[in-house]
Amino acid sequence: MLKILQSNLDTIAALPSQYPEEDMPEIACAGRSNVGKSSFINSVLGRKNLARTSSKPGKTRTLNFYRVNEDFRFVDLPGYGYAAVSKSEKAKWGEIIEAYLSSRKNLREVLLIVDIRHKPTEQDIQMYDWIRSYGYKGIVIASKADKISRGRHAKALSEIAKTLHVEDMSTIIPYSSVTKWNLERILEKMEQILL
């Protein structure tokens, strides 16, 4: 199984000209502004404050490239769907995400983080469709799994699958950044992606 031995911030970019070299595979991470994306990245990479968690959702307005084990990058895409942001700002985030998804040759997969407690939003559906349209599987991470009882997981996951039109249930992984429940499954999935 994949072991995360080291990770650090490699590059912060808004434009393709600022991206790092396409010299190693990349796995990107997408999700709404307040869905716990930074907490997910920190817990999977085993670092406390690598990805900055913010009390103000929608803070990530750039692509943050994290170099992991010196052999792949984890890329944090700008959070979307935060209400207190202007239309032009939202459009800009969309352009940043689209430019990356459409041009990055070494991008292997995109993980979509959703909140297990809530039905995916219109924007989640749009993001998932977008990811799929670029030819990626679109692994869905149902975060905050510690916030509901295990007995409610199956129902919540089938709701997510139904809303996003996910055909393969094995591509939805419930996860808790707090307890790191299912971390092994995520690392195994990442290892398969990087092979």
d(CA 190, CA 139): 10
Give CA torsion, residues 158, 154, 46, 20, to 10 deg.
-10
pLDDT, tens only, 144-182: 999 999 999 999 999 999 999 999 999 999 999 999 999
pLDDT, tens only, 23-71: 999 999 999 988 989 999 999 999 988 987 665 555 557 899 999 999 9
% of the chain residues with pLDDT over 70? 94
State residue 171's pLDDT score: 97
Both structure tokens of 59: 């803070």
